Amino acid sequence: MKEITDVKEAGLAAIERSNDLNELTQVRNEYLSKKGLVASLMSGMKDLDASLRPAFGALINDCKEELEKALKQKQEALTLVALQEKMAKDWIDISLPATKFPVGNLHPLTLVQQEIEDIFRSMGYRVVEGPEVELDLYNFERANIPADHPARDMQDTFYVDSKWLLRTHTTAIQTRTLEKSADSLPIKVVCPGKVYRRDDDDATHSHQFTQIEGLVVGENITLADLKGTLQLLAKSMFGEQRIIRFRPSYFQFTEPSVEVDVSCHICNGKGCNVCKGSGWIEILGAGMVHPHVLDMAGIDGTKYTGFAFGLGVERVAMLKYGIDDIRHCYTNDARFLSLFKRFE
């Protein structure tokens, strides 16, 4: 009996002395594990006289319970201390200024493209893309520009071989869409994408630039629909005061064809150096889809009509943001690009 009390006292003292959870685990193992001191005391019970066993058993149980209780309390206390130490060590000053990471912004051409896409999406148009390496068939033949036709000279072409070329205009996406959607009219799409021409680079020309083509085909589509649509585009892009005008033009795949000017947003039509004194700025080419173009795609040109237009995204961005040289769009000067942060 004395031995039990000694073990208990010694155990309680060892628990009290433990400075961290590791030490406490060692004490637990020493006293309460299967081969610990309490278990070995217990194994002595079988050698005792039967009359002494109940009192012995009760004392052992009391010893065990007291040690377990003390261990639990100490464990909670040490866990709390460990947490407090960790918190004291790991604290951060949330009022310190954070490290600033340079954040990029959208390219002006992306901004203009997204703005135009959004305007047309709000009118129920789909956005359709196509391949940049294109078949002569879709870029020229289906656009009513057969081989050896002089109209091919208007768009000097990078050929890959006799069949394949780098598309010269997004009209190639138009001719593909016409063929694909011949059985599911009406068509209402805008087609953005990169195009390539053997033009000499200067302030307003690039050998690679971006176009957005618009195409609507259905019953009773007229030139008035084209004009209303482009009027809305001009107002959305350049302001409510803008008006547009049509000038007769020529494209092989539209008849009639027009070139579209918007009243100058800098001088309000009075004449300035941006509009070269005329009060008008040319923004795109357009027209009614030639019936032969519809026929070639398998659409009845006597029943259905359509309009199409194609604009240069760089030229629109130059007008909208006052960019004086198209080459700025392609030289990746971070100072130039960062100017467009505020437009996002």
Please give the residue ranges that form the binding site for ligand FA5 (CB under 6 A): 155, 169, 171, 197, 199, 205-206, 209, 211, 213, 251, 254, 284-287, 308-312, 314-315, 326
Tell me whether residue 205 or residue 235 sits nearer to ligand FA5 (CB atom). Answer: 205
The set of residues, in sequence order, having a beta carbon less than 8 Å from that of 87 and lying 6+ positions away, is none
Q: How far is CA 239 from CA 43, 109, 245, 343, in A?
A: 97, 19, 16, 15
Strand duo 133-135 + 244-251: pairing: unpaired
- Token pair, residue 197, equals 């021409």
- Least Å from the CB of residue 258 to ligand FA5: 8
- Least Å from the CB of residue 115 to ligand FA5: 16
- Least Å from the CB of residue 224 to ligand FA5: 17
Tell me whether residue 8 or residue 261 sits nearer to ligand FA5 (CB atom). Answer: 261
- Taking the chain, what is the end-to-end CA distance rounded to the nearest angstrom? 85
- Least Å from the CB of residue 202 to ligand FA5: 9
- Least Å from the CB of residue 190 to ligand FA5: 11
- Least Å from the CB of residue 95 to ligand FA5: 51
Q: How far is CA 13 from CA 19, 67, 156, in A?
A: 12, 10, 97
CA nearest neighbour of 215 among 185, 247, 260, 245: 185
Tell me whether residue 36 or residue 306 sits nearer to ligand FA5 (CB atom). Answer: 306
Tell me whether residue 22 or residue 332 sits nearer to ligand FA5 (CB atom). Answer: 332
- Least Å from the CB of residue 199 to ligand FA5: 4
Cα atoms found within 13 Å of the Cα of residue 129, Cβ hemisphere only: 9
State which residue has the least CB distance to ligand FA5. Answer: 312
Tell me whether residue 130 or residue 285 sits nearer to ligand FA5 (CB atom). Answer: 285
Tell me whether residue 11 or residue 214 sits nearer to ligand FA5 (CB atom). Answer: 214
Tell me whether residue 18 or residue 168 sits nearer to ligand FA5 (CB atom). Answer: 168
- Token pair, residue 275, equals 């509009």
- Least Å from the CB of residue 100 to ligand FA5: 36
Exposed e or buried b per residue across 164-198, where buried means at least 16 C-beta atoms within 10 angstroms of its C-beta:
ebbbbbbbbbbbbbbeebbeebebbbbbbbebbbe
Tell me whether residue 136 or residue 213 sits nearer to ligand FA5 (CB atom). Answer: 213
Tell me whether residue 7 or residue 215 sits nearer to ligand FA5 (CB atom). Answer: 215
- Least Å from the CB of residue 342 to ligand FA5: 25
